[in-house]
Structure formats: C-alpha cells, structure tokens
Homo-oligomer: A and B are copies of this chain.
Amino acid sequence: MDSPSAPSETVFGLPPSIRPGVSLLGGTPPPERSDAARNRERILAAARVVIARDGIEYLTMDLLATEAGVGKGTIFRRFGSRTGVFRSLLDEAERDFQIRMMAGPPPLGPGADPIERLVAFGRARIEVLTTQGDLLRESEAPPEARYGVPARQVTEVHVMSLLRQAHVDGDLPVLAFNLISMLEAILILPPGAVRGITVPRLADGWEELVRRLVA
C-alpha cells in the first residue's frame, strides 16, 4: 500500500511522544526487511478480506494462512498469535486514519473550514472506531487498552486545535476530552447493539451536536 509520507510532527505542535503514526497500543514497531514487510502486508490484506467477507469471528489462523497463501508458521513467526494479527490491524487502521486526518484531502484533511473538518472528523472516526471496536472486543483487550491510549491524545489535540480555529471559547481541553469520550464509546458498546442506534444515526448525531455547540 502506498501511503503519503507521514507529516512532520510540527503540524499540531505535538511532542515527539504523541507524534502521528503512534501505535494504538503503545510502542514502536521494529524495523523490517522489505520481503518481510511484503509478507506482513500480504497477511494483513488477507485478514482484512476475511473480516469484511465472513466476519471477524471466522478469522482462524488456518483460514488466514490459506487466504494469504503462506504457511501458518510464517503468520505465527510474524504476529505471535491471532491477537497479534488484530493488534497489527488496529495499528495500521490508526496510522492510516491519522495520515488522512493530518495530510489527506479536505474536509477531513487540511484546507476546509474548521467546523466542516470537525464534522468530517467525527463521521470518519465513527467508521474507524466501529472496526477497531470489533478488533478490540475479539482480542479481549482490557478497557484501558481501548480508552486512554496514545492514539487518543492525537485525536484530542486535533479536536482542540479545530475548536480553537473556530473561535470556540471555554475549557477546550475538557470539551475535546468529552467529545472524544463520546466517540470512543463505540470501542466498548457496539453500535446497533444499543436500542437500534446505528452507525449512520451516530454519525448524523455527531454533526447535529457539533453544529449546535458552535452555533
């Protein structure tokens, strides 16, 4: 996958410890040789196909090996376990989202009005968190690994920056914290499981709330 190069860490004045591309679960991925990287991406691509086609609960190591056309030993060596595959998928989804948010096309990326960016941010984030929630539930991650992770800080700083650009006043760190908490509830409560609150309704609800907040 060709992604645009990561933006410089000065985009939001983030300290290096929470720079873009930070792992959802903390830590830095080790460097890898290019054939290992190709293998890794091939396995992850196959995992994404199986999840989209069959559902995450059907992703076994046997099926993944068949779909990726590699031996099961290769997957275990690369990812350690089924949970290891999920963590890598989480990290890739997070990195991809952060790059779109900071350097992708508007309205999610730079160039649009800050309110339109905030609306687009929530809508896109709800989609990503829905997938991530499935991965986290399936890998039985503890709640602290779902909430309050380094990736959360990146999105909080982003939201705070947009609110400031839109000349919203008040305690912006708390407002940003609250807005991200609202979105991240999806990491724990699967949408649809909650009295028919679907992903599109949540996305529209986000837009409604943001426009009211800044009116």
Interface positions of A (Cβ within 8 A of B): 142-144, 146-148, 170-171, 173-175, 177-179, 181-182, 184-185, 188-189, 193-195, 197, 201-202, 204-206, 208-209, 212-213, 215
Contact = CB atoms under 8 A, between A and B. Distances in A.
B144 A174 contact: no
Contacts of A147: 185, 188-189
10 contacts: A142-B143, A143-B143, A171-B208, A173-B195, A174-B204, A177-B197, A181-B182, A181-B185, A212-B212, A212-B213
Contacts of A194: 148, 177
5 closest A-B pairs by beta carbon, nearest first, are A174-B205, A181-B185, A143-B143, A182-B182, A147-B188
A174 B148 contact: no
Nearest to A172: B205
B143 A146 contact: yes
A209 B213 contact: yes
Nearest to A178: B182
A148 B189 contact: yes
Nearest to A136: B143
Nearest to A212: B213
A164 B122 CA distance: 25
B171 A201 contact: yes
A148 B153 CA distance: 24
